[in-house]
Structure 1
Amino acid sequence: MKFLKRSLRILLFLVVLVFVSVWLYSKTYKPNYSGELELKNISKEVTVYFDDIGVPHINAENQKDAYVALGYLHAQDRLWQMELIRRLAAGRLSEIFGKKLIRTDKFFSGLGIEEASTKTILNLEKNSENYKMVVAYLNGINQYIAEGKTPIEYTLVGVEKENFTIKDMYNVFGYMAFSFAIAHKTDPILTEVKEKLGKAYFNELIGVENKNLTLIKNEINEEIKGDLAREMHRLFEGLPISPFIGSNSWVIGADKTKNGKVIFANDPHISFAQPSVWYQAHIKTPNYELYGFHLALVPFPLLGHNKDYAYGLTMFENDDVDFYIEEENPENANQYKTEVGFVDYDLVKKRIKVKDEQDVVYTIKVGRHGPIMNDIIDHLDDERPIAMQWIYTKLENKILDVAYEISHAKNLSDFKNGASKLHAPGLNMMYGDAKNNIAWFASGKLYKYRDSLYTKTYLNGASGEDEILEYLDFKDNPQSINPAVNYVYSANNQPDSIVGMLYPGYYLNEDRAKRIVSFLEPKNDWTKNDVAKMINDVTSPNAPIVAANLIKSINVSEFSVSKKKAISILGDWKGNFEKHEVGPVIYNRLVYEFQKNTFADELGKGYNQFVNTPFVEKVLPVQAKRNQSIWWDNVTTKDKIETKQEIVTSSFKKAFSFLENQLGENVDNWTWDRVISVEYKHAVGEVPALRKYFNVGPFVTTGGDQVINNQIYNIDSTGYYKVKAGPSTRRIVDFSDVDNSLAIIPTGQSGRVFSKHYKDQAKKYLNGEFVKMKINQSEIEKSENILIFKPTKGN
C-alpha cells in the first residue's frame, strides 16, 4: 500500500512537472509583441504596432531599417516555415525527417534549382536598391536566429538553426515556380494513352481542350495618366510545404461600382498547411508604404496594396515544362544524340544527408533539355531517358526584380514594366488603382514550336525538330488594360489568343470563370459587400449540366422509390455546395463511379493519377455530353461493347448503393456536411500524439471543387472529401474606402503554436467573414501591443 501511494505521488509530481514545464514554455517561447529590443544594422528607432490579428505595422525612417525589422518579425512568427521551405527546395528534408523523404529530396535536388540560384546570384547587381533591401531583410532574420526564442519544432525534430542566405531565397522562388507547373502530372499519362492505347483514345481526350471555353479577352487601352505522373503525385502528396494550384481575381472598373471607384478582389488557391502560406506586414516610411502578403523568405510581397494601387496574382497555367526522349550513345551512356551528333552530358554529383542513416550519393545526367528524370525519380517505369526542359532554369532569372518593382510601383506603367520581366512561373498579374485604371497581364516568357507539334506528350530530343523556335516579346502576351467591359478577371482559364493561336497550357475548366463573368457582366453598382458575398460563392454553373447529361442516360424503369428520389434531387440541384445540400453528395459519387467505369479499365494503374489532374475536369463535361465514346467499351468484356446507358446506369446504381451503406437509407440525410472536412496540417502534426496541438481542425466546411470558394479535394473510393487546398487568402480593396479594405487567411498570422494568433482567424475564414487590413495611421497607433526596435549602441 505504501509503495502504491508513493508511486501515485511520484506520478502526480511528474504530471505536475510536465504541466508546469509546458506552461512555462508556452509563456516563454512565444512571439514578442511589445516592449523594447536592440537591433543591429538599423540607423534609427523603428516602431512596430501589432494589430488585433497580429499583423505588424512597421514604422521606420527609411526602407533599409524597415526591412531589417521585417526580417526579424517574419522569423519570429514563421522561422520553422522558412526552415522547411528552404530545405525542400534544396533537397534537405531528409536531414531532419529521415529516410522517408529521400525520394522527395532526390527529386528537388535534381531539378537544377540550386544551380540556377547560384548562377543568378553571381550576376546580381549588388548596388541596386532591391539587393540592399534583400540583405537587410536577411540580416533581420539572422539576428532573430542568433538572439530570438527557438521555435519548439527545432527541439522536437532535433535540428540546429542555421543562418539564411540569398541562395535560400532564390531556392524558394524555384520551388514556387515548380509547384505552379502542371506538365509533370499530365504529360506522362497522355503519352502513355497515345503510345499504349492508340490515336483514337488519345484524340478523343485531347479534343476537349477546345470545347467549353470561357476565354479571357485581350484588350489593351491607354493608361489613365491622372498623374511522369504517379511518382510526381506521390512526391507532392508528401510535401510539408504548400504547393500553388489555382486562383481567382477580378478587378471592377469605376463605371461598374456604386461609388465610382475601382474594387479589387483576389484569392490565390494554394494547398492548405499550418501555418498559412502568407505572412502579412504593413511597412510605412516617409517615402514608401505597402500592406503586403509575403511568402516565407521573400521580402517583397506578391500580393499588396496601399492608398494608390492594389495588385495580386493567379496562376497563368501556361506550359513552361516539356519532356524529351533522349537517344543515348549505345557505346557510351554518358552521351546523347543531337542533330549534329553525340555530345556529353554534364554529370552532376549530389549528396543527400539523411538523419540517422548514411548519406545518399547519386549522379544526375544533364543535357540541353535539362536533367534526366530517370536519375532523380525512383521507380520510373520507362527505360528511355526522359529529360525535363523547364523555362525557369533555362533563361535569365529576374524574379527578384519583378517582386521589387510590382511592390514599389508608382503607377500602372511601372507595374507593367515589373510584370514584363517575369520568365517563370507564369502568373496573371492583376492590377487596380485609385486613378481608376484596371489591368490584367499574363506574365511569363512564352515561346513557339513548329505549328504541328503537340507539346503535352514526350518530344523528340535527338532530331532537333522539336526545339523552341522563337521566344515572344511581352507585348504579345495576353493582357487587358482598361477594357470596354469595365472589368478584368482570371480564374486560371484559357486566354483567347496569343499571336493568333490558343497558347498551349494546362488551363483549368471554365466553371469559375463562367460564374465570375455571370456575376460581373450584368451588374453596374458593385459595392465591397457585394464582392465579399461573391468571393464566398459556392455554386457551380456546369455541375448541373453534367448531372443532367448523365441523368438522360439512366434507365429508371426498375428503380425503387429511393433511387428515383435521388435522381429527382440530382435533377433539381442548382450546383450549390452548401452544407445542407444533398445534390453535391450524389453528384460527386456518381462522377466517381462514371469516371471509373469509363477510364479505369484502359488506364489501369495510371487511372488514379489521371482522375486527379485538372485535365480530367475538362474531360468530364464533354464526356458526359457524348452519346458515343471509344472509352465506354470495357476492355475486360471482350465479347460486348458497352453503351452510354449501360455505363451511366451502372454508375448510378453503384453510387446509390455506396451512399446508402455510408450515410443510411434516408436520402434526405445525405447532406454535404457529413462528408466534407478540412484540416490544416503542420509538419510535426503527422505524429499522432502532436496532431491536436499543431494541426488546426478538422472542421466541417462549405464549398466545392471549381466553385468560386474553391475547396479542392480528391474524388476517390472513400466517399469522403478531405479538402487539401483552397483560397490561401481572400482580399478585397475598395478604392472608395481603402482604409477599410478586407482580408482573411485560413488559420492565423503566426506559426508559433503558443501564439494567440496561431489560429485566431480559422472560424472567421470558415464562416466567410473578414478582418480589416488596417492602413489608417491614427487607428493603427491605438494598438495595445507596441514593439520598439532601438539601434544597438555603437551601431
Structure 2
Amino acid sequence: MFRLLKNLAKLLLALLVLAIAGLAWYVYSKQPQRSGQVLIAGLTAPVTVRYDELGVPHIEAGNEPDLYRALGYVHAQDRLFQMEMLRRLARGELAEVLGPKLVATDRLFRTLGIRVHADAYAARWIKDKSGSPAIQAMQAYLDGINQYQDSRPAPLEFQLLGIPKRPFTLADSISAAGYMAYSFAAAFRTEPVLTQVRDQLGPDHLKMFDLEWKPDGAIRKGLQNEQQTARLQAGDWQDLTRLARLSAEALEAAGLPAYEGSNAWVVAGARTASGKPLLAGDPHIGFSAPAVWYEAHLKAPGFELYGHFQALNAMAALGHNTQFGWSLTMFQNDDLDLIVEKTNPENAQQVMYHGQWLDLETREETLKVKGAEPIKLQLRRSRHGPIINDALDASAGKAPIAMWWAFLETENPLLEAFYELNRAATLDQARTAVSKIHAPGLNVVWANASGDIAWWAAASLAIRPEGVNPAFMLDGSTGAADKLGFQPFSGNPQEENPARGYILSANHQPAATTPIPGYYNLWDRAQRLDELLRSPSTPWTMENSKALQLDVQIAYGPRTLAPLLPALRAAVTEPAEQALLEQLVGWKGAYDKEAVVPTLFTQLLFELAREAMSDELGEAAFNNLRRTRALDHGLPRLMADAASPWWDRRGTPVVETREDIVKAAWAATLAHLRKTLGADSASWTWGRAHTLTHKHPLGQQPPLDKLFDVGPFAMPGGRETPNYQAMALGPAPWAVTTGPSTRRLIDFADAGQALGINPVGQSGVWPDRHYADQAAKFAQGGYRAQHLGERDVATHVKSTLTLRPK
C-alpha cells in the first residue's frame, strides 16, 4: 500500500510538472519575437529591427513602404490586443466579446456615428487619394499588422475572451481617431448639467460658474407660447443625466484610456544653457496597461524619426529627430454642441428646421452580444447630427437631442496632417501640416535645431450666430444651432518665435482676438509653469526642466480655502483638530507624498461641494458635475460668495449659511478620514491615500487583476499640479486615473540624448519582461534615454530581428 501511494504521489507530481510546463510553453508561445528572422510578404528588401534594453524597436528599411510594413508588424506583436479593444470600443463592438455589460457602451458609440463616418471617410480617402504617401504608409502599416495576426498565435486575451481574428482596416484607424476626439469632448458631460442649473435653479445659482447669461438662441424655461421652442420635461432631464453618466462611464467600462489635458513648453536657445531650443512635453491621458504610446525609432533614406505611436496609426503623434520635434496638448475648444429638437405634435419623426417640419433620417444597426440575442438599434439623425438619446435603451423623455460634432462635420485630413508633421523641419512645413488638423482641437508646440520655436492652436473653429452661448444646450427649431462657417486657420491662436523666448501650453484658455468657447482647464497650472519659465536668471537645462515637469505645487488649494478660514476657525474648537486646521492654514499648495494636508484639503473640498450642491442637483447630476472642469472653476467662486443660494439646504425649515455648511463639511471630512485611513491623523499621508494602478481591461474581473494590473504606487502631485496625477473629486482614498502618458525632454543641441519615460512598459503582452519594466521608475519621477544616434543605438542593442521578403 505504501509503495502504491508513493507511486501515485510521483505520478501526480509528474502530471503537475507537465501541466506547469505546458502552461509555460503556452504562455511563451505568445511572447513577442525580438530576434531571428521572419518572412514578410510585400517587402522589397530586408528590414532590420534592433531592440534596445527597454524593448524599443529601432527599425531601418530601404524605403518607406517597407519601413511602415515593419512598424505594423512589430507594433502588433507588442500591442495587438490593445488594437483590437480600441477598434471595438470606437466601433461599438465590445459586447460581442465582453457580454451584456458592454451593451450600453456599444449603444453609445453606435449612436455617436463614428463607425458610419469612418467607413465613409476611409472609402472616400482610398478612392480620391490612393496614391498619396500618407495612405500608402497607412496601408503598408495595416498590412504589417494583419500579417502578424495571420501568422502568429492569438494573444492570451483573445483566447480567454474568444475573440476571432479579422483584418484591420483603414476604417478601424479612422474609428480610433474618432474615439480620441470623443474622449476630449467635455461638452457631453458639461452642457446638460449647466443647462439644468440655469433652467431649473436660475441665474443666481449659475453665478459660480462665471458664465454670461445669454438666453437668446438657447433653451429657455417658462415661455408663454410653448410651441415656439423646444422644452425639456422631467423625463428629458433624466435622459440627459443618464447620458452624461454613460459618457463618462463608457471609457471606464472598456478599460481604455481617455484623453484629458497636457503640458508642453519650448524655450528658445537664448534662454537655454546649450544655446539651442529645449522642448518639453507630457500629454495627460488616462493610465492603463498597456500604456497608450508605443515608441519606435524609424529610419529610411531621407527620413528618420523617434516617434510615439497610438494603436492603429502609422503616423507618430509625438516625435523628434536631430533637426526638429514637437509635443501636443489638448486645445479644449468646444467642438460639440447638444441641440434639443422640436418635434411635430402630429409626427414624432419630424423636427422643426428653419420653419419646416423635416423627417429624421433613420438607420438600423445590429449589436452582437456574447451569450445573448443580438440587439437591433434604431438610430436617428437630424440636420444637426445624430440623435444621441437613442443611446438609451428605454428613454424616459420625449425631446430628441442632436449632437453637432466637428469631427463628423469637417474634412479633417488628420492622417495627412501627421504624415507631414512627421517630416516638418521648417516653420512653413510645420505650420502647413498643423493647419490640416480640424478635430479634435490640439495645441502643437514645435521647435527645430535652427532655433525656431512655435505654437499653433489647431482646429476648425466653428462660427456660431451672435449671442449664442454653446456652454448651454441649443434650440434646434431656431437658427441658434446653425454654423456660419469656420474661422480660417490664420485666425487661430498661435505664436512663432516670440520675444519673451518661451511658449507654454497647459490647456488654459489662450489669448485670442475673439474669445473661443471651450472647456479649459484651471489657469493655476499654467500660471505656476509660466511663473517659473518667466524667470530671466534661469538658463534652462535638462535637469531643471525635469524639476519643472515633476513640480507638485499649485495655488488652487490656498486660494479656494482663503475665504473659508474665518468660518473654519469658528467651527473648530477641539485642540487636536485645531492643530490640523493650522496645518491647512499654512499650506502653500504642495502635494507631496509624505504630507497630510493635501489629503485633508481634498476630502474637505469634496464634502463642501456635496453639502452645498447635491441637494439642489440630486446625486446623479452632482456626480456628473464632479467629472467636469466647470466644477473646478466654480468652487473657488462659490467659497468666496457667502450670499450664494447654494449654501441653503433644501428641505429644511431654516436657511443654512456658508458657516453652517463649512462646519458640517469639516465634521464629515474628519469622520470619513478616520473611518478609511485610521484614527491617527499622522497616517493620512497623500501617498497612502492617492495611488496609481495601471489597469488592464481584463483586470476588471478578479482575480485577473492580480495578473494583468500594474501597481499600486503611491503618487505625489494631484489635480492640475504640473506633475498632473488626477482623479475625480470624491471621497478618499483616491485612485489616480489620469496623468503624464509620457514625459519627454529634448535639447536640440544634442537631440540624440533626449529623455523620456513610459508609465508602464513597451509591451502589452503579459508576462513579457517589458510589460511593466518602467512602471516603478515612472512613479518615482524617473527618466531614461531615448536612443537616436547610431553609436548610441548600437551600444544599447539587446537583440536583432530581421524581416525578410517572403
**Interval of TM-score (by shorter of Structure 1 and Structure 2):** over 0.9
Partner SS, residue 295 of structure 2: strand
CA shift for structure 1 position 239: 2.4
- What CA deviation, in whole Å up to 9, does each residue of 1:753-777 have, x standing for no partner? 1311000000110111111111011
Q: Distance in 2 between matches of 1:336 and 1:71?
A: 46
1:390-418 superposed Cα distances (whole Å, 9 cap, x missing partner): 11111213111111111121312111111
Distance 2:289 2:52 in 1: 21
For the residues of structure 2 that align with 1:411 and 1:85, how far apart are their CA atoms? 34
Alpha carbons of 1:527 and 1:231: their partners in 2 closer, same or farther (altered >3 Å)? same
Contact 1:231 1:377 in 2 (8 A): no
**8 Å contact from structure 1 (residues 187, 229) kept in 2:** no
Structure 1 counterpart of 2:376, one-letter code: V
- The residue type equivalent to 1:514 in the other structure is Q
d(CA) in 1 for partners of 2:754 and 2:569?
53
Q: CA deviation at 1:11?
A: 5.3
**How far off its partner does 1:426 sit?**
0.5
Q: Which residue of 1 aligns with 2:401?
A: 386
- Contact 2:173 / 2:313 at 8 angstroms: preserved in 1? yes
The answer to whether the Cα contact below 8 Å between 2:321 and 2:752 also exists between their aligned partners in 1 is no
- Counterpart position of 1:490: 505
Q: Map of 1:313-352 to 2, 5 A cutoff?
A: 313-352=328-367
Say whether the 8 Å CA contact 1:337–1:343 is kept in structure 2.
yes
Number of the residue aligned with 2:185 = 181
TM-score by length of 2: 0.93
Distance in structure 1 (CA, Å) of the matches to 2:565 and 2:402: 44
Cross-structure match for 1:138: 142
**What does 1:736-755 align with in structure 2 at a 5 Å threshold?**
736-755=749-768
Query: Are 1:652 and 2:666 an aligned pair?
Result: yes
Tell whether 2:770 aligns with 1:757. yes
Residue deviations 1:510-550 (CA, integer Å, cap 9, x gap) = 12111110110014401011101111111112212222332
Any idea what the Cα deviations from partners look like across 1:332-361, whole Å, max 9, x if unmatched?
222211114111211111111111211111
Shift, 1:209, TM fit: 12
Match of 2:282 among 262, 267, 273: 267
Q: Does 1:680 align with 2:684?
A: no
1:730 to 714, 719, 743: 743
Q: Secondary structure at the match of 1:493?
A: coil
Query: Closer, same or farther in 2 for the Cα pair 1:28/1:648, shift >3 Å?
Result: same
Query: In the alignment, what sits opposite 2:255?
Result: 240
Moved more, 277-286 or 779-788: 779-788
Amino acid at match of 1:739: G
Distance 1:386 1:737 in 2: 53
Corresponding position of 2:80 = 79
Hey, what's the Cα distance between the residues in 2 that align with 1:274 and 1:425? 24
After superposition, residues 113-512 of structure 1 pair within 5 angstroms as 113-124=114-125, 125-207=129-211, 228-378=243-393, 381-497=396-512, 500-512=513-525
Hey, what's the Cα distance between the residues in 2 that align with 1:558 and 1:655? 12
Counterpart of 1:370, as a letter, is G
Contact in 2 for aligned 1:512/1:540 (Cα 8 Å)? yes
Q: Distance in 1 between matches of 2:673 and 2:704?
A: 33
Separation of aligned partners in 2, 1:130 and 1:9: 62
Amino acid at match of 1:25: Y
Q: 2:722 aligned to 690, 698, 708, which one?
A: 708
Quote the Cα distance in structure 1 between the aligned partners of 2:541 and 2:249.
Answer: 44
Name the amino acid aligned to 1:304. G
Shifted more, 368-377 versus 551-560: the winner is 551-560
| Secondary structure in structure 2 of the residue aligned to 1:712 | coil
CA distance in 2, matches of 1:692, 1:244: 26
Return the alpha-carbon distance in structure 2 between the equivalents of residues 722 and 69 of structure 1.
38
TM-score under structure 1 normalisation?
A: 0.94
Instruction: Kindly indicate whether the alpha-carbon contact (under 8 Å) linking 1:29 and 1:754 is maintained by their aligned counterparts in 2.
Output: no
| Residue in 2 that maps onto 1:218 | none
Counterpart of 1:85 in structure 2: which amino acid?
L
Bigger Cα displacement from structure 2, 330-339 vs 367-376: 330-339
In percent, how many aligned pairs have the same letter? 37
Deviation per residue, 1:605-653 (Å, 9 max, x gap): 311111221111111222222232111111122x322222222122112
Distance 1:113 1:594 in 2: 39
User: What do residues 589-617 of structure 1 show as CA deviations (whole Å, max 9, x unaligned)?
Assistant: 11011111111110113111112211111
Residue of structure 2 aligned with 1:580, choices 594, 598, 614:
594
Distance 2:160 2:123 in 1: 37
Among candidates 704, 710, 729, match of residue 690 of structure 1: 704
> Which residue matches 2:782?
769
Report the secondary structure of 1:653's partner residue: helix
Secondary structure class of the residue paired with 1:525: coil
Looking at structure 1, the residues matched to 395 and 628 of structure 2 have their Cα atoms a distance apart, in angstroms, of 19
Change in Cα spacing, 1:128 to 1:207, as seen in structure 2 (3 Å) is closer
CA distance in 1, matches of 2:212, 2:738: 25
Alignment partner of 1:540 is 2:545? no
Q: Which sits farther off after the overlay, 2-11 or 40-49? A: 2-11
Q: Which moved more, 1:63-72 or 1:613-622?
A: 613-622
Please state whether the residue corresponding to 1:656 is helix, strand or coil.
Answer: helix
* Distance 1:538-1:145 versus aligned 2 partners, 3 A rule: same
Aligned residues: 771
Amino acid paired to 1:552 = P
Indicate the SS of the match to 1:553: helix
Deviations 1:350-404 (A, max 9, x none): 1111112111111111111111112113465532111111111112131111111
Q: How far is 1:234 from its partner? A: 2.7
The answer to whether the 8 A contact 1:208-1:618 is kept is no
Amino acid at match of 2:83: M
Cα distance, 1:667 vs structure 2: 2.8
Q: Sort the Cα spacing of 1:208 and 1:616 in 2 relative to 1 into closer, same or farther, 3 A.
A: farther
Amino acid at match of 1:70: L
What is the distance in 2 between the residues matched to 1:558 and 1:278?
48
Shift, 1:14, TM fit: 4.7
> How many Å separate the matches in 2 of 1:331 and 1:13?
77
1:481-630 aligned at under 5 Å gives the runs 481-497=496-512, 500-523=513-536, 524-556=538-570, 559-604=573-618, 605-630=620-645
**Separation in structure 1 between the aligned mates of residue 468 and residue 568 of structure 2, nearest angstrom:** 40
Q: Which residue of 1 aligns with 2:105?
A: 104
Give, in angstroms, the shift of residue 720 of structure 1: 0.3
CA distance in structure 1 between the partners assigned to 2:547 and 2:213 by the alignment:
31
Distance 1:66 1:461 in 2: 49
Distance, in Å, in 2 between the alignment partners of 1:91 and 1:522 is: 49
Alignment of 1:46-85 (within 5 A): 46-85=47-86
Letter in 2 for 1:686: Q
SS class of match (1:678): strand
Distance 1:600 1:15 in 2: 57
Which residue in the other structure is 1:222 paired with? Answer: none
Judging changes above 3 Å, is the alpha-carbon distance between structure 1 residues 735 and 406 closer, same or farther for their aligned structure 2 residues?
same
CA change 1:562–1:556 in 2 (3 A) is farther
Q: CA RMSD in A?
A: 1.8
Per the alignment, residue 90 of structure 2 pairs with 89
1:5 Cα offset (Å): 6.9
For structure 2, the residue ranges without an aligned partner over 5 or more in a row are 215-242
Q: Given residue 570 of structure 1, which amino acid in structure 2 is its aligned partner?
A: L
Name the SS for the 1:641 alignment partner: coil
**Residue identity in the other structure for 2:484:** L
Per-residue CA shift, 1:404-438, capped at 9, x if unaligned?
11112131211111111111100011101101111
* CA drift at 1:33: 0.7
Instruction: Single out whichever of 108-117 and 287-296 deviates more from structure 2.
Output: 108-117
1:659 partner SS: helix
